[in-house]
Structure formats: C-alpha cells, structure tokens
Structure 1
Amino acid sequence: MTGLEEDDSAVAEDHADPRGDPFLRTRFAVPARPVTYLRRERLTRHLDQALRTPLTMVNGAAGAGKTLLVADWAARRVRLPVAWLTADAAGDGPGVFWAYLLRALRTAGVALPAGIGVPADATRVGPALPVRLAAELSGRERPVVVVLDEFDRVTAPETAGQLDFVLRHAGTGLRLVLVTRTEPLLPLHRYRAAGELTEIRGAELAFTSHEAAQLLELHGLRLPPAAVSALVERTGGWAAGLRLCALAAGQSPDPEVYLKEFEADRSTVADFLLAEVLKRQDAGTQELLLRVSVLDRFGPGLANAVTGRDDAEAVLARLSRENAFVEHLGHGLYRLHPLFAEILRAHLRMRRPGAEPGLHRRAAAWLRRSGALGEALAHGAAADDWEFTAGALIDDLAVGQFFTGPRSEAMAELFAAMGQDSAGPAPELVRAAGLLARRDVDGGLAHLRRARHELAGYDGTADEAAARLSCALLEALAARLAGAPDRVEDAARAAEGLWDAVPELLDRHPEVTALLLDHLGSARLWAGHFEEARAALNRVAESVPGAATALPREDSLGRLALIDQLNGWPGRAERRAREALAETERFGLPRSSGSGVERLVLAAVAVDRDELGQAQALLDTSADAHPALRDPVLEACRALTTARLHLARGDPGAALRAVEPEVPADVASPWVRGGTALVAAAAHLAEGRARTAAGLLARVPDGQVACAVEAARVQLAAGRTAAALRLLDRVDPEGRAGPAVTVRAALVRAQAADEAGDGETARGLVGRALAEARRERLRRPFAEAGPWIRPYLRSASPHRSTTGRPAPRSGPSLHEPPPPVVEELSGRERDVLRRLALTMSTEEIAADLYVSVNTVKTHLKSVYRKLTVNRRNEAVRRARELDLL
C-alpha cells in the first residue's frame, strides 16, 4: 500500500493535518447566511436534483452567490449527513486534501473505520485510500452529501482523479457537490453523457430583476422596476455587485441617481464598488481593513496585534453583520473576501508605502507567541526578517523539519530566499541545515563553524540550549555524511548533555531524537560495530510511529535489515526491509524522501536467491534517495550489491568497475573494505587469476564472519585448502552467523572433502547445505560453487536427505527460476493486471477502465494464460517475480 496509513491509535489522535498543523475547524463549517440573504427557490429546487445524481456542480465567478446558495440548501433542504469542506486558499496538496476530507466526513457524523488510513505526506496519496473509502461509502444505506467549496483551488490532477475514482465506485453512498469558479478537472463529459450531473452555472446564478428588487428591499432600498432592471443589466446580475451597490447606495441621499451614475468613470464594476465600500467606512475601520488585508485568516487577537487597537472583535462582528465583505468563518475567525482583500492591499501600498513588512512582522510575532510556528515563519519571511524567522525555527527546535516530516520541502523553499546578510547563530544554523539537506557537507560545515563561534558564550537559557542542540544534530549529520564515526559519537554525546534543558521541545519534536539516533546507528554501522549500531537503530525503530519520524524510522529499519543481511540472515533481513518499506507507505511518503537502503537489502537477498531480474529492479528503484541520507553506508551497499549482481550475471569486468571507485569517507569501513576485496577476488577468480585473488585477502577483516567464509572460498580456489579450513575453524560460522553464511561454509568444507577424495563427507555436507538453503530459498551459493558440486546435486533425492530422513520438497524454486513469459502482455492487459494488484473486483476494474465486465474477464484469461497461472493471487505474485508490476 502507498499513500497512508495509520492504525487505530493514530486515527484516534487525528488532530493535525499532514503538515503538522491543527485542523482548521472553520473549513468544515457550513457558512452562516447573513440577515440580508435572499433565498431563491428556483435554485434550491434545482439543487434538490443533487440527491438524484452522483455529481452536482455550482460554477460561477467570485461573488456569484455560490457558497451561500449551497449552504442555505444544505441547512434547510437536505435530511442527510452533509460533510462540508472549504478548500485552502494556498491550494491543498493531495495528502492535505484527503486528510481534511476524511476529517470533514467524521465531523459530519460519518463513521469511518480506522483501516481507511490517514495521509501523512502533504503532496501525495497512494491508491489504497480512495479504494478503501469508496468501498466504505458504497456500503451505506443512505448517501452522505459531500460539499467541496471553492473547489477551483484544488489544482492537483492526482487529487481530481482520485476523487473521480471514489465518486464512481461509491455508488449510491455518495452525493458530491462542487462549488467552483472554474471547470473542475473531473471528466464532466462522461457524467453528462450518463445523465449523472446536475449543473448550476453563472447564467442561472445571476439575479433576475425580480430577485434583485427583493434583495434591494432587504437592504432597505425600494427602487422603480426600470432602475432595478438597469442595475441588473449593468452588473450582469452579479450577486456581490448587487450587494455592494445596495450598501453604497443605502448611504446616498438619492439612491436611484447614485446607482445610475456609479459606473461613470470606472473601468470595472468590482474595483469601483470595493473602493466605495472602503471609502464609506470611518477612518479607523478603513485602517483596520487595510492592515488585516495582509492576513489570510484572522481572529480579533491577531487583528488587534496587527492594527495596534483593542476593539477589533466588535468592528469585525459589525462588518460581518453588514455583509461588508468580511466573512465570519466561525470559531471567532474571519477572512476578507478575496477580491476585497486584493483591492485593499493595493490601497495599502498606495496609502502606506512600505507598511506591509511591518504588518507581517507584527503578525509573525503574535503567531509565534500563540504557538502557530508555520504561520509565524511565513509572515516572518514575508517581512524579509530572516533573523526573526530563523530564530523562531531554531528556538522551537524545529530544524529537523528540513530533513523529515511533511514540512521538509516547504521549509527548504521558505528559507531559500534568505540572503547572506542575516547574522547570528540561528541564520547560520538554518543555512547549514539547508546545505546539508542537499548533501553539501563542506558548505554546511562552514556555516556550522560560524554558528559554534556565535554560540561560544552559551548562558544556559532554553533558547541557547535549543540552538546548541540543533548545532549538535547538524554536526552529527555532517559527520555521518563524511564517514567520520568518532565525530558522530562526539556530537551525540554533546546533544545528550542538552536533552534535560529542553524536555518540552523534544516532546514536541520527536524527530530530533530519532534523527540523532539514526545518525549514530549509521555511523556505528560504517565503523563495523554492528551490535552498538543495532542498539541505537532499535531505539528509533521501536519509537512511536508518526509522520514526523517516519523517515528516520524507515532508514533505521532498513539499516537493521542490512545488518541482518551482512550477518547472513536473508529471511530476517527481508522481513525488516519490508517493514521499512511499509513505514513510508503507511504515511504516504514518496520513495525519494527516504534512503532506499531497504531496497538495496532486498536486492542483495534477491541476488542470493538468484532472482536477478528482481535484484536489478530493486537496484534501479533505490537510486532515488534523500540527499541527506546518501551516506557512505548507502553508497557502499549500492556498489557492493551492484558488483555481486554483475558477478552473478557472469560479467566480472563490470563487477570490478562497480567497486573500483572507493567510497569517499574520512575513515575506512572494515566490512566495506573486506567486501570490496572479496568482490574483486571473486572477479579475478572468474577470469582465472587465482593468485591475484588470493593476494587481495590481506584486506579482509578477521572479525567479520561472512567475510572470513568468503575468504576461505577464495583460499580454496587458490589451492590453499589447509588455510581455508583453518580460517573456517577459527571463525566458527555455524555458531555466529545465519544461513547465507553457514551454507557457504558447508560448501567450502564439502569441496575440500571432495578434493581429498572423501565423497561421503562431501555428500553429507552438500545435503546439509541444501536443507538450510531451501528454508531461505538460497540458490546463489550453489551456482558459485563450481562444477565439482553437480554430481552431489544430481544424486540428492528430492524426497530424502543425505541422512535418510524425509527432506523438504524443493520443487522447481530451488534450482530453477520461474518460467519466462512466452508472450508479452498487451498494454490493456497490463492495465488490468495493475488494478488486480490493488485487489479491485472485476466490476471495479471494468468501471475504472470504462469497459464491460466481459471485456475484463477476457483480458484476465489472457493474462492467466501468458503468465501460466490459474488464479488472481498467483497472477499478481508471478507478475511481481517478473518485474511486471
């Protein structure tokens, strides 16, 4: 699965969106109708058809009255659950959109099971969530009405496609109402052709003369029919224009004359009316509106902070009651009508040149005190006050958000505009973090040195402790990337000495501890201290799952899998690696946001199992990794696995080239040095240079059992049988390593026995190796053994072991790869196969591909025939083996 997913406890704690921000409850609130709202029955009757068609679209320009129309209809005419969601002004990414939509459904009382999942990446959602949500809604006896207001702000094609999927597969369980200024990305022509779309467009939303007269009466204006008709003609029946006209004309001594002349010297109705509304307010209210125009959403407290007054609550409430384009969102929050806000900002620049940065600075300071760090950073950046903005980030101990969590990309983009003139430890730390996130170690270290110099006068305050802890975290990362384990240990000790000074910040930012331990574990792994590395990495892997710590947890699980693989436990390594993959998939994080080390481990396991196509596919997908996680361990693992794959394919020259460039690091890794020497030795052996191969063994460390067994095999191939056996006796692999190592050790001893003429001992050792290999599906050790083993393999009964006891049936999987596809799958057959892997039913596949069920069944029969299988699960498994999925 991809794009989600949390367990019951995670869903129960679903109080923040994927960016880590609390859910804005106002986005789920059905907007209140003003006292001057005019209910138009012709439109509400038309909207009633929304209960008979899956999709309804209310499409019109800004200020056309779309939202209030649907809000009034939903509040008065619908006796079904109504989930209301207003799209974000900045544009939601798919992950944020689906997190809010799920929360909107739950707010409306729709009980959703925890298994549907919770997105954690603001930018993406995998296919599992829409499938599960559609399945849940399709089982409802009564439909739920979902209203998506301001849907024109949803611009991601991925989101629109997933929404279309849910709508089509939810059946009668969902009625979707889109309130939008623009044509949505959904395939409307299909819904129209099927008679499944209710549309209300701008022409229908426009006020008639009769409706306009009623609206003006609600504002206390009675005009002759001719005057009303002229007004409707000039405004095009635009709801916002009519309301603004009513507000402006109501304060004129002769409303009729005013409405005749209002357009005399203006190019557009909207600009003139908005300017007139502002002009009619008293000076204090005008100043308040101008100043709050720099805010997206605001409550009275923030408005007071920006304006320097203390009565914003009463002023905003009055403006909202008067429908003066100040919208009350509920829960004490307001916003300006977008067009009104835009005009106000233009007036602000004209009347108060240079005032905007100061207003942003005031907003940032108030938001920081209120704990809204994300909004505070945005206003600080808008004010071009980078010392404040960097200081807020560092003082909150949020520097880890550069590397993990849903804010990482946004954080990098925000601070990309920061120049070099901002001074102080916080800007230097932020610059270092930005460079290290791009794997610029030298640049990052230069800024870290300046930050350390600035922090030399540490006085023990919490802010200074947060800065020093941030510095230690970044130093640990820089040392990890440089391959300097001792420096990582020093940085970790420095960080641990500061933990007691900022316990609340560490609770708020668990990613800091997770990242530090991940850096420490990886550095120890590079140094060859596997058990110490396991201890640090296990602390991360066993921490509470969360979006903020998903990436260090993924990386730690992957490196634990690598330790298992290096110690010869392929099955255990595979399970750990798949657990690491699931960690990012459950939170919907993209593949490029992690290290990909788990894919390298799976590739190495695939090589041992002689599944070379699978190994190559995994190597290819592991190339996309977060730059800050491309440390020497990752690069060495990729080089060694690539080289072993070349050896398995019979290309020793390519294997030598793969390990020829030494992985740059301040300190050499013993297991990497030994693994590189062994790969080179195996390549030389394959080309008949046994003496050269044996000469490389001096670089192999004695303490690594797996390396020692490989070295024994090289010694044996070089004719040094006694040395090979002494080496095996000394390291005792049977008691210290897993099957991938002990099978190879048994085969070395078997070959030595065969060369000594002791066929019975050789046969027993080969039989024991086969028994161990079958449990782990190991094939490669037998392919590497050479011609001497063939008679023993031929004589080994598939039903009896060499000890006379029944042996596990090997079947074709031990010695033979899966049979190849005899005929290539067509493009449509691949489409069907991909949906089959998503556990979609035949009917769901047919609906998704817009074909008949019989057509899908025909494609399935062809897929089964070409893959030589009989069932769905067999087809999916076979396709994965052949890298078709």
Structure 2
Amino acid sequence: MTMPALLATKLFVPPPRSQAVGRPRLIEQLDAGIRSGRKLTLISAAAGFGKTTLLSDWVAEIRQQEPRMRVAWLSLEASDNDPVRFLGYLVAALQQADTDIGAEIPVGQQPTESTLTTLVNDIARSAHQILLVLDDFQLIEDKSIRDAVVFLLDHLPSTLHLAIASRSDPLLPVARLRARGELTELRAADLRFTPDEAAAFLGPVMGLSLSREDVASLEARTEGWIAGLQLAALSMRDRTDASAFIAAFAGSNRFVIDYLIEEVLERAPLNVREFLYQTAILDRLSGPLCEAVTGQAGGAEMLETLERSNLFVVPLDDRREWFRYHHLFADVLRVRLLAHGPEHVAALNGLASEWFENNHLPEESVRHALAAADFARAARMIEATIPSVRKSRQDATLLGWLALLTDDAISRRPVLGVFSAWASLLSGDIAAVEPKLARAERSLDAIHESKPGPELDTLPVTIALYRASVALATGDLAGIRTHASRALELTSPADHLGRGAAGGLLGLGEWATGDLEAGVAAFADAAGNLRLAGNLTDALSTTMVLADMLIPLGRLQESRRAYEAALREAAVKLGGGPPTADLHGGFAEVLIELGDLAAAEEHLAAGETLGWAAFSHEHQYRWFVSKALLRQAQGDLDSAIDLLEQAKQRYRRGFFAEARPIEAMRARILILQGRLPEAQAWADAHGLTPRGDLSYLLEYAHITLARLLIAQRDPAADELLENLRGAAEAAGREGVVGELRSLVGRPTVEAIAHREGLSERELQVLRLLATELTGPEIARELFVSINTLRTHTRHVFEKLEVNGRPAAIRRAREMGII
C-alpha cells in the first residue's frame, strides 16, 4: 500500500533569519518548560506575532546547546484535516528525529487509539529526547485529529516534548494541563516587542534611523505587533520625515493594518506588486511555478528579492527553492486580487493547476482546478489520484473533491460516476446509487473502446459490487447473489481485491438466506483473496463473520481456532491494530458458548484496554453484546439487560446479517426473569406468531418466541419448535438443532432431564452446581466422595454437550431444568 508523496517542505524547520532580534527572555521560558518536564509548550497569538520565528530560533538554540535533542517539525495546512493524511505526516515528522518511530504502522492507517499506542510506545523506546513542533495548529478542525493529539498528551513519554503554535487556543485540555503545572504558554502579551526589541528591530534589522521617542510611539501604536512594525518600517523607508508619519499614524488596529498594507503595496515597484497579486493564490511558491502563473521569467530571482526585502516570504527548504507568504500577508493579497475580478483569479488558478499537473503533483492540481472552476481538468486529475488516495484510505479527501464537482463533469467520466455512487452509498442515500451507476455504465460503454485503461477495465466489477451492496442494504437476497456472481465472473484471476469483495458479498447473501455452509465457503475464499491483495486487516475481519456462521452450524471449536489464529496474526503483523479489538469482542461470544467464562472475561478486558476508538463503528456494539451474554451466563441478569441497552445505542446497521437481534436477546433474559408480559410485548411489536414466516433471519426470534410460549405453557410452542427444527435440520444448522432438541416437548423438568439422558442423581448434581457451593461442599451434601462427584459431573457435562460448570448451568436454565 502506497501513500501519496509527502511534501518534504512541511517537515522543514524554517531557518533563523540572518538579521533578527534576539529574544533570550522568551527562549529561556521555552527552555524552562522542557527542563521542568512539562508536557506542552503552547504559543498562541494572532497572525504576525512571530510565533514561527520564535520556534525557529528556539530550535536553532537547542541544536547548538543540546545536540542530543532531536527535533520533529510539522507545518500544518488546511488539507491536513484528513485523519489519515495527518497521521502520515506526523509519523514522517517524528521519523526525522528517529527513523524507528512508527516503522511498524502501516501506510494509510487511521489515528486510532491502537495506532497511537504503537506510536507512543515507539517514542518511549527512543534513545533520543525529541521536541515535536506542530506549527499553525489553528488550521486543524477535525475532531478525530484533535482527539489524537489529546491522546498523545495524555500518554506523553518522558522522551517527548510537544510544542504547538496556533493563532487561536486549540481545543485541547489546556486548562487541565495548566492546573497540573504541565503547560508552558506564551501569548500575545509575551510575544509583543518590548521598546528595546522594537528599537533593535526598526534600527539594525529594518535599517531605519529613528529617535527613541519615535520608536516608543510606534511601538505603542502597534502594541508591539511585530508584523505591524514590519509593515510600518517598510512604508517609512523612503520617507524623509519619519516623525511626522508616526505622529499621523493612528486608528483602530484593523484600519492600521489596511493602511500599512496599502502603503507597502503602493510603494512597491509595479512589477513586484503584480507578482505579489498573481502569486497570492499559491500556498507555496517556487521560481518555475511563479513563472508559469505570472507568465514572466525570473521567478526565482523575484523570490530572492522578496526575501531580502522582508516582504513576508518564508523559506520552506534549505536550498531556497520553495517559499510561502506570511499567512496574513497572503490573505490581504488575495482580498486585493479579487478586485481584479473573479475571471482573473480563475485564470491564475488554471495556470497553477496546469503547472502542478505537468509536474506530477495531482492533488495540488485538483485544488487549483476546482478554484478555477475548471471542472473538466479537476475531474481528470481526481481520476488520476483515485488509486493512491484510496489505497492510502484518504477517503475524506476524495469525497470532498467529488462534492465540489458538477454533475456534468462527473457524467463524462464513468470512474467518477461510480465513485459518486459510492459516496451516496456511504451517506445512506440508497435511492441515488442505481441512477448514478446506470449513467456511469452508459458512459463507460460509449468511451471504453476508444480509451481503454486499467481503471475502466475494472469498472464493471466495481459497478456489480456496488449493486450487490445496494441489494444487501435493501434485503434483496436474490439481487445479492445475482450481482455478486456477476462481479466474480468479470474479475480476472489476478484481481484479488475484486474477487475478495465479490466473494464476501456472496457470503453475506448466503448467510442471510441461511445457507451457512455456502456462506462459510464464500468467506473463506474471500479472505484468501484479500490476503493476496495485501489487505490483511479486512482478511482478518472476516473471522467474525465466519464465526457467526460456524456457531449455528455447531462448529464451536473451529470458531475458537479461527479466532486464536486471527489474534496471533494481528498481534505479529498489525501490531495489535485494527481489527484486534473487534476480534477480542467476537471471540468472547464463542468462549461463552463453550462455557469458558474466565477466558471470555479476559478477552473482553483486552478489547476494552485497546479503547473504544480501536473498534470499528460496525462492531463496537458487539463488545457490549458479549459482555451481556457473559453476565447472563454468570446469573447477573439485570446487568445483562443494561449491557444490551448500551449495545443497542451503539448498534450501526451495516451489511451483515442481523441473525441475533439485540431485542430478541433481551427478550430471552426477560423470560428467564419471569417478566413474561414484557417479553410478549416484544413479540407483538415485531409481529411474531407461531405460524409466521420461518426465514433464517427470523429463526433466532422465533426460537425466542418458542421459549416464551413454553414459559406461558402455550401448546402452540410444540408445533413451532418442530417446524423450526425441521428447517434447521434441512439446512445443516446442527448448533440450532441441538438447542431446539432441548426445547421440544418439555412438559416437566423430569421429562426434560430424562430426554437428555440425565439420571435422578445427575439431576441433583446439576441443581447443586447452580448454587454457590464448592465441589467438596456438594459432595458432602450428596454424601458421596469427591471422586464420585467428579464422575457424575463429567457425565452431566457430556450429556449437555458442554465443557464447564458455567456452561452447564446456562444450558440447564435455557432448557428449563433449573
């Protein structure tokens, strides 16, 4: 799996300016934060207060004074709000300090708690002290990314210190860190130039000869705002009467900024001014790129001139090839550029998009094409990025682009049409999917012969898969088989990803119809293809589906072995990342069925330790279901009810068969508690009757209804149970058959015990096993030796087909023996 190329310039520490005002008072505060072991340094102030410059100077000081400390720097952009993209850059930044950090984190991972745990552990093992700088953090709005940073702060190893520069206070636990003495913070009041610093800046740095009074006056008028002082200095360079200018310089901060920028821009040579306006659309600047946008030669020389003139350009690499404008300056330039008209702005973005396309930077080409409203180019470039963006799982980026394209641009490109349908499928707009697929199919037929290509060749497979997904979502069982089989027919032998997806959908369809043997075979084949495609995470996730089908087939030990193997592989090859938490939760269900409640408790605890973020959205509820089943097996029925309620709140309807609905599980517990009117209300609400449709997806509910009828001594239970057993036997669902055999025709406890082959003595043993008595105490109660008790107990377990006391108690309660 590959990731779109990372911009090395985002990891570059801006070099200290050759002529800059030293700020030892601030450097000392920053140093003190590290020496005292505080977790976070926060530099928070509006634009133009020198946050990045201060951090750059600090890093230079650290490298000189503390050569053992390594620095990881990440300059953030608005596009970094994609969680996968952010984690990729975060790992890359940390690897600038220590190449071993994050080496085991697969490309394209979400910043889940499990992934972040791996990252934290790597940092903790590092032999280096590391300073991690996140610059321009105000651009991060994605909650999951902020949560990831909070996790890092909460578990920060002693080897790492985090520094954040932001124009606004980040949505992080700043108050908590401050209260604990774990925060160093510098704000606008700290960053403002003092009169002495202002004098040093305006004199030696900016080359002005001002009186002490003029400096003090200007410092007061700008309130020490560094960018304001810089702009004022630029506008005074050619004035003969600086004192008069300063005396006349007044007004609110906003108007002061407007005035200074007008003065600077209007006094700049025409060619410089035009260059600034035309290149304002660019997030980063290079000589060739600027030449392409402006249509003028000498782009590199102009950037050098701007840097020498302190015209708000910041170098992004040590070769001075890439620069950016100071953010505030760029904002103002873009506002003034709009005065030239939107057509002019669109034309400049079009030129930029063309340059980025020609230089193999498709993502930036897309952004500028969209800004230029050149939707045809944007569509073409989005198609070019789809393989890398999807492989790296930056789905949020792709969906954002698709939302900005016009219908016309999408309709001309079948690949985009299919992915637009995928976007509708993800959003739950099922009705919109088929029209989009049909339109893409027509477009594909029209262009495929004249323009073949790998994306177009595999598109019919994708279309069939999405149609199968729609059928699955709408309960069209025949449609699932039709479209998934069609996808499988269309895939080439080498298309393992397509074959894996088609096999999985076929398996889901077979599961929903109750042909579990066919479903198991289909999913085993799907898992193999997913492995061949390099998608181990999804391959291991199929274990849960396989186990859910193996349990009603009565193949519990096979389920156990599948989970054990999957967890071992996830630990070794995925570092305990997804889908490890899901697997722990699912395995607990199998262990409860086997009566190994202690092991089930251990796996539930292991999943909980990984954190809720480590669970997939579809499977988080399963942990609560397993916990409820465990509490039920332990006899704590009230807790089981509460846990099922929590499971219901977390349930997300996915593509998986709802073979054991949460409400039906709850009804079974209500029956055990004797709360029969509530259980009857559940049956009525779901329209369940003894002579209702016996489809597989209703089998668990109908068995629950049979339990209710038995508890109500309703003779209709016998006919229902016989019909259910006949259907289960015909389909080979031996696990279900075993449960039904325990329920059919159970008029008395003694009759049920006799049907299971239990002797009167073994029935006595079983009843005592359900108490809190120990083995020796039960033996004394029965006046037998401990060895004789063990023999009776072993016979009970064999006859009930369980392998432990808790499982025997649970099975006996299910059958009504105790």
Following TM superposition, by how much is the alpha carbon of 1:573 offset from its aligned partner in structure 2, in angstroms? 4.5
Q: Which runs of 5+ in 2 are unaligned?
A: 568-577, 583-606, 771-781, 812-818
Pair 1:617-2:603 in alignment: no
The match for 1:560 is 546
| Match among 11, 26, 29 for residue 12 of structure 2 | 29
**Cα distance in 2 between the residues matched to 1:334 and 1:546:** 43
Following TM superposition, by how much is the alpha carbon of 1:592 offset from its aligned partner in structure 2, in angstroms? 6.4
**Cα distance in 2 between the residues matched to 1:440 and 1:387:** 26
Q: Could you say if the C-alpha distance between residues 97 and 706 of structure 1 is closer, same or farther in structure 2, counting changes exceeding 3 Å?
A: same
The match for 2:573 is none
Residue 432 of structure 1 aligns with an amino acid whose one-letter code is A
Following TM superposition, by how much is the alpha carbon of 1:336 offset from its aligned partner in structure 2, in angstroms? 2.0
Following TM superposition, by how much is the alpha carbon of 1:343 offset from its aligned partner in structure 2, in angstroms? 0.9
Pair 1:39-2:22 in alignment: yes
Residue 21 of structure 2 aligns with an amino acid whose one-letter code is L
The match for 1:653 is 680
Pair 1:218-2:210 in alignment: no
| Match among 447, 460, 477 for residue 436 of structure 2 | 447
Alpha-carbon contact 2:75-2:134 (below 8 Å) kept = yes
**Cα distance in 2 between the residues matched to 1:480 and 1:805:** 43
The match for 1:863 is none
Following TM superposition, by how much is the alpha carbon of 1:478 offset from its aligned partner in structure 2, in angstroms? 1.2
Q: Could you say if the C-alpha distance between residues 189 and 595 of structure 1 is closer, same or farther in structure 2, counting changes exceeding 3 Å?
A: closer
**Cα distance in 2 between the residues matched to 1:455 and 1:111:** 46
| Match among 316, 321, 326 for residue 303 of structure 2 | 316
Pair 1:538-2:524 in alignment: yes
| Match among 702, 707, 731 for residue 703 of structure 1 | 731
The match for 1:66 is 51
The number of residue pairs the alignment matches comes to 730
Residue 289 of structure 1 aligns with an amino acid whose one-letter code is L
The match for 1:740 is none
Identity across the alignment (%): 23
TM-score scaled to structure 2, two decimals?
A: 0.72
Q: Alpha-carbon deviations, 1:171-223, whole Å to 9, x = none? A: 86444444343445566667667766555443443334444444343344434
Following TM superposition, by how much is the alpha carbon of 1:420 offset from its aligned partner in structure 2, in angstroms? 5.3
The match for 1:85 is 73
Following TM superposition, by how much is the alpha carbon of 1:145 offset from its aligned partner in structure 2, in angstroms? 3.1
Residue 19 of structure 2 aligns with an amino acid whose one-letter code is T
Q: Could you say if the C-alpha distance between residues 556 and 353 of structure 1 is closer, same or farther in structure 2, counting changes exceeding 3 Å?
A: same
Pair 1:799-2:793 in alignment: no
Residue 45 of structure 2 aligns with an amino acid whose one-letter code is G
The match for 2:463 is 471
How does 1:291-330 map onto structure 2 within 5 Å? 291-297=278-284, 299=286, 303=290, 306-307=293-294, 312-330=299-317
Pair 1:335-2:324 in alignment: yes
Alpha-carbon contact 1:120-1:589 (below 8 Å) kept = no
Q: Alpha-carbon deviations, 1:16-53, whole Å to 9, x = none? A: 5xxxx554433332211233323344444444434433
The match for 1:751 is 754
Q: Alpha-carbon deviations, 1:392-440, whole Å to 9, x = none? A: 5556556996xx9854455545545666565434564344223322333
Residue 341 of structure 1 aligns with an amino acid whose one-letter code is A
| Match among 577, 580, 586 for residue 582 of structure 1 | 580
Q: Could you say if the C-alpha distance between residues 31 and 384 of structure 1 is closer, same or farther in structure 2, counting changes exceeding 3 Å?
A: same
- Secondary structure of the structure 1 residue equivalent to 2:713: coil
Q: Could you say if the C-alpha distance between residues 95 and 526 of structure 1 is closer, same or farther in structure 2, counting changes exceeding 3 Å?
A: same
RMSD (Å) for aligned C-alpha atoms? 5.2
Alpha-carbon contact 2:350-2:374 (below 8 Å) kept = yes
Following TM superposition, by how much is the alpha carbon of 1:694 offset from its aligned partner in structure 2, in angstroms? 0.9
- Secondary structure of the structure 1 residue equivalent to 2:551: helix
**Cα distance in 2 between the residues matched to 1:219 and 1:564:** 77
- Secondary structure of the structure 1 residue equivalent to 2:49: coil
Alpha-carbon contact 1:119-1:125 (below 8 Å) kept = no
Residue 815 of structure 1 aligns with an amino acid whose one-letter code is I
Q: Could you say if the C-alpha distance between residues 195 and 657 of structure 1 is closer, same or farther in structure 2, counting changes exceeding 3 Å?
A: closer
Q: Alpha-carbon deviations, 1:356-395, whole Å to 9, x = none? A: 4454455556556666565555555545555655565556
Alpha-carbon contact 2:74-2:89 (below 8 Å) kept = no
Alpha-carbon contact 2:644-2:666 (below 8 Å) kept = no
The match for 1:271 is 258
Q: Could you say if the C-alpha distance between residues 598 and 175 of structure 1 is closer, same or farther in structure 2, counting changes exceeding 3 Å?
A: closer
The match for 2:597 is none
| Match among 683, 695, 703 for residue 678 of structure 1 | 703
Q: Alpha-carbon deviations, 1:795-817, whole Å to 9, x = none? A: 99652247789999956785389
Following TM superposition, by how much is the alpha carbon of 1:337 offset from its aligned partner in structure 2, in angstroms? 1.4
Alpha-carbon contact 1:537-1:556 (below 8 Å) kept = yes
| Match among 643, 658, 663 for residue 634 of structure 1 | 658
Q: Alpha-carbon deviations, 1:773-812, whole Å to 9, x = none? A: x9xxxx9xxxxxxxxxxx9x99996522477899999567
Q: Could you say if the C-alpha distance between residues 542 and 320 of structure 1 is closer, same or farther in structure 2, counting changes exceeding 3 Å?
A: farther
Q: Could you say if the C-alpha distance between residues 454 and 406 of structure 1 is closer, same or farther in structure 2, counting changes exceeding 3 Å?
A: closer
Quick check: 512-521 or 151-160, which moved more?
A: 151-160
Q: Alpha-carbon deviations, 1:572-599, whole Å to 9, x = none? A: 6577499585266879857563355855
| Match among 85, 93, 98 for residue 109 of structure 1 | 98
Q: Could you say if the C-alpha distance between residues 217 and 636 of structure 1 is closer, same or farther in structure 2, counting changes exceeding 3 Å?
A: same
Alpha-carbon contact 2:131-2:160 (below 8 Å) kept = yes
Alpha-carbon contact 2:415-2:440 (below 8 Å) kept = yes
Q: Could you say if the C-alpha distance between residues 684 and 475 of structure 1 is closer, same or farther in structure 2, counting changes exceeding 3 Å?
A: same
Alpha-carbon contact 2:500-2:530 (below 8 Å) kept = no
**Cα distance in 2 between the residues matched to 1:566 and 1:490:** 26
**Cα distance in 2 between the residues matched to 1:399 and 1:593:** 24
Pair 1:348-2:337 in alignment: yes
Following TM superposition, by how much is the alpha carbon of 1:349 offset from its aligned partner in structure 2, in angstroms? 1.2
Following TM superposition, by how much is the alpha carbon of 1:562 offset from its aligned partner in structure 2, in angstroms? 0.8
Alpha-carbon contact 1:600-1:638 (below 8 Å) kept = no
Alpha-carbon contact 2:72-2:95 (below 8 Å) kept = no
| Match among 209, 232, 246 for residue 219 of structure 2 | 232
Quick check: 548-557 or 481-490, which moved more?
A: 548-557
Quick check: 140-149 or 156-165, which moved more?
A: 156-165
Q: Could you say if the C-alpha distance between residues 193 and 446 of structure 1 is closer, same or farther in structure 2, counting changes exceeding 3 Å?
A: closer
Residue 682 of structure 1 aligns with an amino acid whose one-letter code is R
How does 1:185-584 map onto structure 2 within 5 Å? 198-215=184-201, 216-250=203-237, 252=238, 254=240, 256=242, 259-260=245-246, 263=249, 268-283=255-270, 285-297=272-284, 299=286, 303=290, 306-307=293-294, 312-330=299-317, 332-361=321-350, 363-364=352-353, 367=356, 375=364, 377-384=366-373, 389=378, 392-393=381-382, 407-409=394-396, 411-412=398-399, 414-416=401-403, 423-424=411-412, 425=414, 428-457=417-446, 458-459=448-449, 461-462=452-453, 463-496=455-488, 499=491, 515-538=501-524, 541=527, 552-553=538-539, 556-570=542-556, 573=559, 576=563, 582=580
Q: Could you say if the C-alpha distance between residues 805 and 209 of structure 1 is closer, same or farther in structure 2, counting changes exceeding 3 Å?
A: closer
